[in-house]
Amino acid sequence: MNIALVDDMPDELHNMELILKDYAAHSNVDLSLSSYLNAEELLADYRPLLYTVIFLDIYMDGMSGIEAARQIRTLDPDSLIVFLTSSSDHMPEAFSFHAYEYIMKPVSADKVFRVMDDILRRHTETSGKKLFFGRKKGNYSIAYKDIVFIRTGTANYLEIMDKEGRIHKTRMTFSAIGEQIKEDARFLLILRGIYVNMDYIIGFDRDICRLTGDLQLPVNIRQSRKLEQIWQNYIFNRIRKESRGRRNNQ
């Protein structure tokens, strides 16, 4: 698991490194840590899906953690942002960027361990479901969480795009794919022949669904407001469920 640490205080950055290294040894998990002394350094090196978790200080010289989160979310809805701060003043704004957690300073190992336990549990749960389909070279599968969209393509093919931008083609029918994913809340039918994973949506225009990585797909114009509301409710319910789970585990 790749983790980014961003804090303009070297001592606090070092403390987070020690805590997470201790967690990795204690939990027998492989963590790769990348540390940054400001948000500008993080963004200069950033690309979608580079990090599973970003521990991000809010109060920093130069760009604030809030502004950094805003820029990250235009590229990447999938990474988990954990804000670090000495004040709760920005908590409402922080959670508007789908923050996974908000840790008050001074950071304690106990709090970080609880957050990491919850993240690993969530990662395990969402990694399990897979979409199975046939290709020219045999059968194949992709984890639901890694699917960006599924759409009807040309020459009787379906196109399945994964989070790395690869397009997989299959002769399976759109309805057959729909039968596999219909019970999973993250997939939204935005137009006849197009399913989108709502975890990758960053917004709607009147006739466009905007996805991470500057992708755009057409939507049913008459249903666009309803589709946007479904997406907003999905995000709200996901955040509420995750927050409830963290409270229950504390």
Mean pLDDT along residues 76-105: 78
The DSSP result for 200-228, as a single string, is GEEEE-SSEEEETTTEEEE--GGGHHHHH
Kindly give the residue spans of alpha helices, DSSP state H, lying in the chain: 10-27, 39-44, 65-75, 91-95, 109-127, 174-181, 224-249
Q: Supply the pLDDT for residue 9.
A: 94
User: Global pTM?
Assistant: 0.56
Domain ranges of the chain: 2-126, 130-239
Q: How far is CA 130 from CA 94, 147, 187, in A?
A: 32, 9, 13
Query: How many beta carbons lie within 10 A of that of residue 54, not counting itself?
Result: 27
**What pLDDT is recorded for position 247?**
56
Span of 37-51, 156-170, 218-232 with lowest mean pLDDT:
37-51
Q: Which CATH superfamily is domain 130-239 in?
A: LytTr DNA-binding domain (2.40.50.1020)
- The sign of the CA dihedral 175, 176, 181, 186 is negative
Q: Does the pLDDT of residue 126 top 60, yes or no?
A: no
The fold for domain 2-126 equals: Rossmann fold (3.40.50)
